[in-house]
């Protein structure tokens, strides 16, 4: 039991540092380009990934000075789920709220959540730029739907989610460094 935390943190460190930094720089450039084009960043996820989406959207807006939203408002989620099905609620939210200048960030630990897959397919069909964050199996379905696809080599939810959050918040830290943050 004494080694549990040490082993957990070592595993997290390995996953966080097992990153293609070039892809994180590319995501940073996409976010900058989105703002230059007058767009916003839309971040979506389920469960823990939804919490990450909210955190990232708030920090992009408040700290970094970029327009960003997540679709975690209960009335929106339940209305669209009731009317169109849970598997289509994010797709419908994108249909109602996304503009062509927007960047969509899709976060899913497994990369197999049907609503995330439909959101990714909709983004592609609608001509939206999207970035995906997934984990678990390397051949997960979400991993090929974005223009940039980040993948964590782990089947442990907390390792995957923490890695996603660290990578995304690190992108925000770079944006703040490059732009001076909220002026």
Q: State pLDDT tens for residues 23-82.
A: 999 999 999 999 999 999 999 999 999 999 999 999 999 999 999 999 999 999 999 999
Other CB atoms within 10 A of residue 26 CB? 15
Phi first, then psi: give them for residue 138, nearest 5 degrees: -65, -25
Domains and CATH numbers, the chain: 4-179 (3.40.50.10490)
pTM of the model: 0.96
Report the pLDDT value the prediction gives residue 183, as an integer from 0 to 100: 57
CA dihedral of residues 106, 111, 115, 117 (deg, nearest 10): 80
Helix or strand run (H / E) with residue 3: none
Calculate ∠ Cα 162-168-111, nearest 5°: 65
133 forms beta bridges with 107, 150
Helix or strand run (H / E) with residue 81: helix 74-84
44 in helix, strand or coil? strand
CA distance linking residue 61 with residue 149, whole number of Å? 23
Q: State pLDDT tens for residues 140-156.
A: 999 999 999 999 999 99
Cβ atoms 71, 102 nearer than 8 A: no
């Amino acid at each position: 039991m004494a080694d549990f935390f040490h082993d957990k943190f070592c595993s997290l460190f390995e996953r966080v540092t097992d990153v293609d930094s070039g892809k994180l720089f590319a995501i940073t450039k996409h976010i900058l380009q989105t703002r230059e084009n007058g767009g916003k960043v839309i971040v979506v996820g389920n469960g823990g990934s939804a919490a990450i989406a909210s955190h990232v959207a708030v920090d992009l807006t408040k700290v970094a000075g970029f327009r960003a939203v997540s679709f975690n408002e209960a009335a929106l989620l339940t209305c669209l789920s009731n009317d169109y099905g849970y598997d289509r609620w994010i797709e419908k939210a994108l249909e109602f709220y996304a503009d062509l200048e927007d960047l969509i960030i899709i976060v899913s630990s497994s990369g197999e959540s049907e609503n995330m897959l439909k959101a990714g397919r909709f983004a592609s069909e609608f001509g939206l730029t999207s970035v995906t964050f997934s984990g678990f199996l390397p051949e997960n379905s979400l991993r090929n739907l974005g223009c940039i696809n980040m993948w964590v080599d782990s089947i442990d939810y907390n390792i995957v989610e923490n890695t996603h959050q660290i990578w995304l918040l690190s992108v925000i830290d770079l944006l703040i460094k490059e732009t001076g943050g909220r002026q």
